[in-house]
Structure 1
Amino acid sequence: MPQPKSSSHIRFAAVGDLHVQSDAAGQLHDFFAQAADQADALLLCGDLTDYGTAEEAKVLAEELSVVSIPVVAVLGNHDFESGTPELVIAALNQAGVRVLDGSICEIEGVGIAGVKGFGGGFGRGSLGAWGEPAIKLFVQEALNEAMKLESALAKLRTRRRIALLHYSPVVGTVQGEPAEIFPFLGSSRLEEPLLRYPMDAVFHGHAHRGTFEARTINDVPVYNVARPLLQRTRPDAPPFFLYELPREALGEPVRTAA
């Protein structure tokens, strides 16, 4: 049953991996309308298009026309496939979507920092920058994304904070995928900035066969909201995740890390 919007809480609908194709016109209207009806803001965790084409981005933007609540997004690896992520961003911006890439926004007192992220592996299995130049470039990309996240988090001045990613910052939410591809599903380097700033929650997608929820080292909840995962593991719930924060605590400044 739909949950009525609350005067005491702000509710976010979070989902990733929509993989919109050029022939998908009309297929997401009801989905987006349901999210807008139940939430105060919509968070999109990358892989919004299937091949990152201008045609797919246009279809996505048209599907989002039914959404009257704020929409915040990050891109995913699929949105880069055609080499023109700027076209995807332009279409989303035209539809009123705020696309974050090492940047922040604020919705009703909740600060949101967003970055795509990258792979590289987790913990002792993390790839090191050693050997061939191609390996060093791969690791440097992961470091660049982590630094972008760090920079964004440092700019937040709200009491309540959410991080929006495509790749996972923890190994827990990729469990269920083949272990051989863990290095391509996320990176512990993305977790490091999240440990230095107070956070309420982290949302990501990408790992379709992963696990819905895990925690950072300092116990911040991390949610894998890839749409295929939500559809498979929560068949009786809408294919997005509703996350609430209390309104009465919003907007209070907090001390940021030095």
Structure 2
Amino acid sequence: MADRETLKIAAMGDLHVKEDQNTSFRDLFGEISHVADALVITGDLTDLGKPREAEILAEDLRACSVPVVAVLGNHDYESAAAEEITQILRHAGVHLLDGQATEIDGVGFVGVKGFIGGFGRRMLGSFGEPAIKAMVAESVGEAIRLENAMRQVRSERVVVVLHYAPILETVAGEPPEIFPFLGSSRLAETIDRFQVSAVVHGHAHRGAYEGRTPGGAPVYNVAADVEKPTGRPYALLDI
């Protein structure tokens, strides 16, 4: 298949699929299949990280006829079944990225979950108790995995898919006390070493829709409760 000059991406996050929920995403996924060339989901696919929740999502995704790219979020780790959730969704055809890259019609997608740590000069440093150092090491490790994945991409157009925010701008609106738990500037530092068409993330439900990395890469917070220009639960981006 020839590369598309423009790939229209529907991006959304924080589905929080529950075992006992009465609602279904099937109609929404069917709608997205008519308006977009690909669907990107920015983590928190499940509510409590249970395999059955992933199975319900996989069933709903059968209504989606376009490629699906996703990353896991913090909720997907709650029940210590992240590997099983990954297997379920990959078996359903989802390009579930965890430090990998994939290409769809000439656009490269790179995905990691990301992690906490704070932003700018207030970013948490590796000093003090072992628990703090372990937290910073996790944040640095996610940034390194993102960089390694970026180096796999050969496409001129690249979309970075995260759960945690890479910039402060798109978490604005959340309580300032929890800003350090919503993302890390280390992700943006990595992104700005490369040419990136767009960055999408979730997690910050009360955050702002749009911002930019210090290097100018556009960033979109597509968490479920963030108002998007479409007026729908998903954003539409032309890449």
Residue aligning to 2:190: 193
CA contact (8 A) 1:74 1:164 kept: yes
Residue aligning to 1:238: 232
| Deviation by residue 1:177-235 (Cα, 9 ceiling, x = unmatched) | 011101100000011111110011000000000000000111111000001113xx65x
Amino acid at match of 1:242: L
The root-mean-square deviation of aligned C-alpha atoms, in Å, is: 1.2
| Deviation by residue 1:33-90 (Cα, 9 ceiling, x = unmatched) | 1111110000010001000101111111111011111101000000000011011111
Residue aligning to 1:31: 28
CA contact (8 A) 1:199 1:220 kept: yes
Residue aligning to 1:129: 126
Residue aligning to 1:250: none
Q: Give the gaps of 5 or more residues in structure 2.
A: none
Amino acid at match of 1:124: R
Aligned residues with identical type, % of pairs: 51
State the TM-score, normalizing by the size of structure 1: 0.89
Work out the CA distance in 1 between the residues paired with 2:87 and 2:49: 12
Aligned with 1:72 (options 65, 69, 84)? 69
Amino acid at match of 1:95: A
In the TM superposition, residue 9 of structure 1 has moved relative to its aligned partner by 2.4
Alignment of 1:36-185 (within 5 A): 36-185=33-182
Alignment size in residue pairs: 236
- Asked whether 1:218 is paired with 2:212, we answer no
Amino acid at match of 1:186: G
CA contact (8 A) 1:25 1:63 kept: no
Secondary structure, counterpart of 2:89 in structure 1: helix
Q: Give the gaps of 5 or more residues in structure 1.
A: 1-6, 246-258
Secondary structure, counterpart of 2:180 in structure 1: helix
Amino acid at match of 2:49: G
In the TM superposition, residue 24 of structure 1 has moved relative to its aligned partner by 3.0
Amino acid at match of 1:211: A
State the TM-score, normalizing by the size of structure 2: 0.96
4+ aligned runs moved over 3 Å, structure 1: none
Secondary structure, counterpart of 1:183 in structure 2: helix
